[in-house]
Amino acid sequence: MKITLSLFEAHLKCPTKCWLRSNGEPTAGNAYAEWVHTQSESYRADAVRQLAAEVPMEVYAVGPAAENLKTAKWRLAVDMDILAQVSTPAVSGSVPLPERKPDGTPPEAIGTDGPSALQSRLHAVERIRSKGRGKAAQFIPIRFIFTNKLGKDDKLLLAFDAFVIAEMLGREIRLGKIIHGDDHAMLKVKTSALTSEVRKRIEKIAALLSNPARPDLVLNRHCAECEFQARCRQKAIEFARLRDVIEGSSTEKGIREYLILLSICQTCKYMGADFLDFLRSGERDIHAFAESRRTWTRPSRSSQPIGLPTITTSSPVVPQATVRGR
């Protein structure tokens, strides 16, 4: 399992967004998200030019190999990809990522997930030579944010960069910098104070991605600027329609159908199958549907109207799901 900066950033906004990105879910586009991306790239390129102008060319590097970080001679590097092998928590998320040993040796893998990797792309990193003989050089990650006002997520992204560098080098990265806003103001961030929160976030992401079931749909303030907005909105509409149908069924038969649907929903979640996809498929055996869900082609909305399947009190759906799924 590889946890990238893109997944970490998505999880800060919404676990569902992180899960969708990790599974390669297609996006419908979002005008605001595209504008933010364009602004970020433009600001980053301009900030890199200004920063590079302050150092001699012989100590400036573009995209240097991260493997040579310990023996590097440059003072400023930009666009550096770094990859660190770490150990992930167990699927339950209750086991913390282990600390490295004092000598920098990677810890033994714990939990059922085994070794994993963290990957980030550093906007820039500053290298400060050690003042004493035998002491290691200091590395300071730098991020460029185009907004004048910074939020906690911006600092956590910088802390993630520092965390990956620390895992790769086997020593703590205590400080980072954010250059932001119209005036290119610089903020120093004590990344070591955010290490614990970054570690907890990584645990949650590892647990999320190790679960084949989709996370519950959650709508929040980030939806308006998310590339998955159209997809989640459609899901929410489908749930609302289903809820309206169920709430309107107050007869004894309607209540029985509601309980059957509730049982089906819980069984689908237990077996890692999508509840709405199962209803639309026309399949009556949840176990068979769960086995074939990876190869099942979703029918178009025009050919498969949304509604309740024909369910009677003697329907075999519930006993099949209960006996074979649990």
Domain 2-210 of CATH type 3.90.320: yes
- The residues facing 85 across adjacent strands are 117
Distance set, CA 53 to CA 56, 58, 59, 76, 176 (Å): 8, 12, 11, 11, 20
Could you tell me how many residues make up the chain?
326
Pairing status of strand 115-128 against strand 138-145: antiparallel
Q: Is the pLDDT of residue 81 over 80?
A: yes
Tell me which amino acid residue 207 is: A
Q: Per-residue pLDDT tens for 148-176? A: 999 999 999 999 999 999 999 999 999 99
How far apart are alpha carbons 225 and 132 in whole angstroms? Answer: 49
State the Cα–Cα distance between residues 75 and 56, nearest whole angstrom. 9
The pLDDT value given to residue 89: 47
pLDDT above 60: residue 110 = no
- b/e map of 213-249 (b: 16 or more CB within 10 Å)? ebeeeeeeebbeebbbbebbeebeebeeebeebbeeb
Q: Is the pLDDT of residue 115 over 70?
A: no
**Model pLDDT for residues 219-277, shown as the tens digit of each residue:** 888 888 899 988 888 888 877 776 666 566 556 676 677 777 777 887 887 777 888 88
Average pLDDT rounded to a whole number, residues 29-38: 90
Instruction: Kindly calculate the radius of gyration of the chain based on its CA atoms and give it in whole angstroms.
Output: 25
Of the pLDDT bands very low, low, confident and very high (cuts 50, 70, 90), residue 92 is very low
Mean pLDDT of 42-64: 95
Q: How confident is the model at residue 87 (pLDDT cuts 50, 70, 90)?
A: low
Report the pLDDT value the prediction gives residue 254, as an integer from 0 to 100: 67
Between 89 and 86, the higher pLDDT residue: 86
On whether the CB atoms of residues 158 and 191 are closer than 8 A, the answer is yes
Is there a contact between 220 and 236 (Cβ–Cβ < 8 Å)? Answer: no
Rounded mean pLDDT of 9-37?
91
pLDDT in tens, 183-199: 999 999 999 999 999 99
3-state secondary structure at position 53: coil
Tokens (6 digits) for 145: 């944010």
pLDDT of 321 reads: 44
Q: How far is CA 154 from CA 106, 123, 148, in A?
A: 28, 13, 12
> Can you tell me the distance from the alpha carbon of 213 to that of 293, in angstroms, rounded to the nearest whole number?
11
Say which range, 8-17, 199-208, 283-292, has the weakest mean pLDDT: 283-292
Parse the chain into domains and list their residue ranges. 2-210, 248-325
Please determine, for residue 147, whether its predicted confidence score (pLDDT) is greater than 60: yes
- pLDDT value of position 197: 97
The DSSP annotation for 103-148 comes to T-PPPPP-SSS-EEEEEEEEEEEEEE--SSTTPPPEEEEEEEE-SS
Q: Please give the residue that has the higher pLDDT: either 32 or 239.
A: 32
Instruction: Output the furthest CA–CA distance in the chain (Å, rounded).
Output: 83
Measure the CA–CA gap between 10 and 38, rounded to whole angstroms: 17
Q: State phi, psi for 308 to the nearest 5 degrees.
A: -85, 145
- Checking if the pLDDT of 106 tops 80, the result is no
What integer best gives the mean pLDDT of the chain?
80
**Which residue carries 């996809």 as its tokens?**
277
**Which alpha helices (DSSP H) does 272-314 contain, by range?**
275-281, 286-292
DSSP character for 193? G
Return the pLDDT at 279.
81
Residue 78 — pLDDT band, cuts 50, 70, 90? very high
Residue 244: predicted pLDDT? 67
Q: Long-range contacts for 78-81 (Cβ within 8 Å, ≥24 apart)?
A: 78/48, 78/51, 78/52, 78/122, 78/123, 78/124, 78/125, 79/121, 79/122, 79/123, 80/121, 80/122, 80/125, 81/119, 81/120, 81/121, 81/122
Q: Which stretch, 22-36, 79-93, 300-314, has highest mean pLDDT?
A: 22-36
pLDDT above 80: residue 99 = no
Report, as an integer, the average pLDDT of 196-215. 91
